[in-house]
Structure 1
Amino acid sequence: MTSTFPHARTPKLGYDTRQVEEFLEVARRAFDGTPRAGDPSVTAERIRLTAFGMQKGGYSTSHVDAALERLEDAFAARERQIAARLHGDEAWLREARTTAQVVANRLARADGERFERVNPLVLGYHVKDVDAFGDRLSRYFADGWPIGVDDVRTVTFRSQRGGYRESQVDLVLDAVVDVMLAVR
């Protein structure tokens, strides 16, 4: 039996092989334009937000994550082409600029105040880590400072009690990825 990806070495955890295979099959059909009744819609955003269960000896997480990033890029490029055909390149870029401005406005807030904070007894993202990365993103939007989409996709932050609300930071990072993919 062949495997789509290398497996994690036992007893390490990897992604649930069945879930990965099922998702990739649905994505393949969606990309080919042959979805089955009951298949969920697959978009670049959906790919970015996909999560799999873990199992001992499952698929290597780094290999699957890299494949998902390539798949997201392919879907984003196709979505851009479709939107450009339907609404024109200018409409697509206008939407990307609007999103970029919303993100830039969020990142222009003072350090320690860019995102909502969680209760002091709850763990959130480390404020200084997020603010430092936010400064890099601000330079990207304002001055074209070099930063890659993979830098945004793979950024990690330490935890901190009373830190920034993770879901809010993650939404902004997702918006940054959307903008970066839109202007490629």
Structure 2
Amino acid sequence: MDPTFPLARKPRLGYNTAQVEEFLQRARRAYDGAALPDDEPLTSEQIRLTAFAMQKRGYSTDHVDAALARLEDAFAAQERQVAARLHGDEAWLREARMTAQVVSNRLARPEGERFERMNPLVLGYSVREVDRFTERLTRYFRDGWPISVEDVRSVVFKTQRGGYREAQVDLVLDAVVDVMLAVR
């Protein structure tokens, strides 16, 4: 049987093939409305937060990550359709606007103070790099400047001692993705 994704080339590790296959089966069932009784509900946010163990000769991380991004988009579109049917498009967009306002307020803070800082002996995200990226996000929210969901999903920051708390930055980036998917 052919693998679902290309395998990682030596000496690189790839994603655990069994975990990926199991997740994809669960996602397919959830999307089709045929979830098994013991399947956990699956949302676009959970797809974004999914992680797999690494293994030799596992699936190519680039290929799986790209598939997960497409899967997240499909689930987000489905979630929007369901919410629009239940509550109307205006309620869905109102929720997206509220989230966008919370994110915009965070991004409007002064440079170097947008997120909680780590202890000077502990690594966090580079303050300069995060602030530079948040300027792009500010222009997106304020002026409609182009930035893609993929730009936000794939951004990588260097680390520095005393940098921004990673979990807090990641949470805001997740909220940005949520807003971008909601207004597509």
TM-score range relative to shorter protein: over 0.9
Give the Cα separation in 2 of the matches to 1:107 and 1:11: 40
Give the Cα separation in 1 of the matches to 2:125 and 2:146: 24
Correspondence for 2:6: 6
After the TM superposition, list the runs of 4 or more consecutive aligned residues in structure 1 that deviate by more than 2 angstroms. Answer: none
1:110-132 per-position Cα deviation (integer Å, ceiling 9, x unaligned):
00000001111111000000000
Gaps of 5+ in 2: none
Correspondence for 2:58: 58
* Cα shift at 1:37: 1.3
Give the Cα separation in 2 of the matches to 1:67 and 1:40: 20
1:62-113 per-position Cα deviation (integer Å, ceiling 9, x unaligned):
0000000000000000000000000000000000000000000000000000
Number of paired residues? 184
Give the Cα separation in 1 of the matches to 2:100 and 2:94: 10
* Cα shift at 1:40: 1.2
Correspondence for 2:87: 87
Identical pairs, percent: 75
Once superposed, what is the RMSD of the aligned Cα atoms? 0.5
* Cα shift at 1:51: 0.3
Instruction: Give runs of aligned pairs for residues 143-162 of structure 1, distance below 5 A.
Output: 143-162=143-162
Gaps of 5+ in 1: none
Instruction: Give runs of aligned pairs for residues 1-184 of structure 1, distance below 5 A.
Output: 1-184=1-184
Give the Cα separation in 1 of the matches to 2:155 and 2:11: 27
TM-score scaled by structure 2?
Answer: 0.99
Give the Cα separation in 1 of the matches to 2:8 and 2:56: 8
Q: Name the SS of the counterpart of 1:114 in structure 2.
A: coil
1:25-53 per-position Cα deviation (integer Å, ceiling 9, x unaligned):
00000001000111111100000000000
Give the Cα separation in 2 of the matches to 1:12 and 1:113: 38
TM-score scaled by structure 1?
Answer: 0.99
Give the Cα separation in 2 of the matches to 1:73 and 1:64: 14
